[in-house]
Structure 1
Amino acid sequence: MLFRIDPSSTAPLYEQVAASVRRALSEERLKPGDSLPAARELAKLLDINVHTVLRAYGTLRDEGIIDLRRRRGAVVTGRSDGHARLAALAAELVAESRRAGVGVEELVTIVRRNFS
């Protein structure tokens, strides 16, 4: 399944939906021109609020990963140039740091140490 959410996760549901799309794009399960399900359809499938899906789609639109068009829905643009993979990995890193009890400042320090 393309979309996965974990209700027990501390990550917001909209971010989990967006992360699913980023992951699918980075793994090439989604390609430019592919359509995503309508927000109502996806909300029903995942048993979440339609506004949660719309927020996820809005986030992806702001990142340049999808284009939202009337009557055409959400379409993958493919203009992320690796951004989608980095965003998915960052979301996983943040989720893992929360589970480990690592705060944002400590996480930034860890990333900076590994960046050099």
Structure 2
Amino acid sequence: MLFRTDPSSPVPLGEQIASSVRAALAEGSLTPGERLPAARALADSLDVNVHTVLRGYQRLRDEGLIELRRGRGAVVVEMEGARFRAGLLARAAELAAEARRLGVSEEELLTLVRQSFALGPAPASGG
């Protein structure tokens, strides 16, 4: 699995690390039960503080995508739909970033999402 960070990006490094994991899960190159690199080793390879890596890992834990266990490290959860969830979380983060760039408030964005959700499934595209 390849982790990428861009220190010049306005996105915090911990979130960039979490995004790398979400993307790998969504594309299937990271699967349930796999271990992520040890925080210290990943921090060294990315030339970032170990706490930065831990923030990214904690974010993924809070999202239900990984488990953090003392002595065992970070492990991708064995959860049905983990790949779909990771892809959805990645797209939600992109949507939030785009909304911030456009000056859309959190409440406005949530209203737009609620309206879209209420419309039900998108019609199938003809082809």
TM-score, normalised relative to structure 2: 0.78
Distance in 2 between the 1:35 and 1:79 partners? 15
Structure 1 stretch 104-113 or stretch 44-53: which is displaced more?
A: 104-113
- Is 1:22–1:85's contact at 8 Å kept on the other side of the alignment? yes
Aligned length: 116
Distance in 2 between the 1:80 and 1:53 partners? 26
- Is 1:63–1:80's contact at 8 Å kept on the other side of the alignment? no
**What are the ranges of 5 or more consecutive residues in structure 1 without an aligned counterpart?**
none
**What are the ranges of 5 or more consecutive residues in structure 2 without an aligned counterpart?**
120-127
Identity %: 63
In the other structure, the counterpart of 1:88 is 90
Map 1:4-15 → 2, pairs under 5 A: 4-15=4-15
In the other structure, the counterpart of 2:2 is 2
- Is 1:22–1:84's contact at 8 Å kept on the other side of the alignment? yes
Cα offsets for 1:12-57 (capped at 9, x unmatched): 2212211211111111010011111110111112221110111111
* One-letter identity of the residue aligned with 1:12: P
Distance in 1 between the 2:22 and 2:3 partners? 10
Cα RMSD, aligned residues only: 1.9
Distance in 2 between the 1:100 and 1:2 partners? 30
TM-score, normalised relative to structure 1: 0.85
Larger radius of gyration: 2
Distance in 2 between the 1:9 and 1:27 partners? 23
Change (3 A) 1:6 1:114: farther
Map 1:1-116 → 2, pairs under 5 A: 2-79=2-79, 81=81, 82-115=84-117, 116=119
* One-letter identity of the residue aligned with 1:7: P
Structure 1 stretch 10-19 or stretch 31-40: which is displaced more?
A: 10-19
